[in-house]
A and B are shown apart, each in its own frame.
Chain A
């Protein structure tokens, strides 16, 4: 497919002797939000880490037509991938402002400041605390910061690792709106890993089911929502 942004072909990953992924195949097209649903330990986080080459992997990962399976993580980020890791991964010792500045590390244009102001408008609480250490923020504020920081690199592809984890429902709602907005306004493609299947399928175009390191199903968001097996396993129906 010509408008394919990201694809994984037969990707395996292991931590030492333990194999976490057994040949994952998935793809994300230009402008799509794709969700990966799976239980704890299914390999969702590992899939995202494999794309960024942060775990020992085999197989092929393609980004915008070039093979990035052996590329250095920093080069993958330079090529347009932004990863919001599980547990936020903000720089606790740096200020809110510095977190956003370092998020734009790969950029050389002169619109970094205006992008930062844009995020401070979107999340005023971050603007108020711009000189505070990120470690002093609440969990929800840190997740906002993590997403804003990832968006600061103006990525073409965003990897989101369980952004709803441990957050209050209202904050989750707001975050997912931000994802949909980024996707719509900037055309950012997204690969979203979630346990909160209801919400994820609301904003997603398509989805995959991941079980014990293998893709066991896929379909449009509509199809997945109506699939009795998915309903039983992930939607609590």
Chain B
């Protein structure tokens, strides 16, 4: 057996064949089953999980596509008619709810991501070299990350409350008049973005820190010898080397940010508030489905939303490939 030059998969297959051969020498139902199981372990291991996910995804996804082509509403069980692409036309020409929701989704994701990556990089750099009390800082970083988003939403509701909230109290001390925060039509989205930044910057920190610690010290050392200052070393050495990790962080955070639901629904409730101030695509689609039972329309929104997510991911993956080269 030429194990040395083989790729992983081949090695495994060769040994399987040996095992099967060994089993066939001493026949018996149990041995036969074990030989069969070993030979097919690739699919035996992978299939249950894939079938589980497949059934729970493929079927609903197909159903959603079907629903998006019908005028289903009220109850999914009620008779519905096939209307072709009408729902898509309705949605795409809807400048009151759909397009603003797209705008809010992209604003929310874009602003939150930029802030989280910049802040996250800063904090990761602060934590990069060991220091005393590092343990406690790491604990502090972990706490927002694991906190239940709905509870976090409630917490911020109290802190940002216009009358009794601590934020306005603090601002009052330095003479700034109270702001409406979550209850303001213009300030609500920004406030929820702030909450997202508070909760998820730690995630970016952890990813970037893992990237930083896996960097080799030599390029940085060499630049130091050549007299480069800290800023030069960061922008010309560390950052380019970190780009693949930065894009992974953006990818992982971006997917979740686009789909943010919990804190928005917990702080502003149905429809993203009375003026739909924080109604992103996910909140809009949820409302259409479960608060207004407009299944046909909501399915069309969801398919379009899903396409936005896929395109964003695809662009980022392309970018990552370009950077990794």
Do A and B assemble together?
A: no
Show the binding face of B for A, using Cβ within 8 Å: none
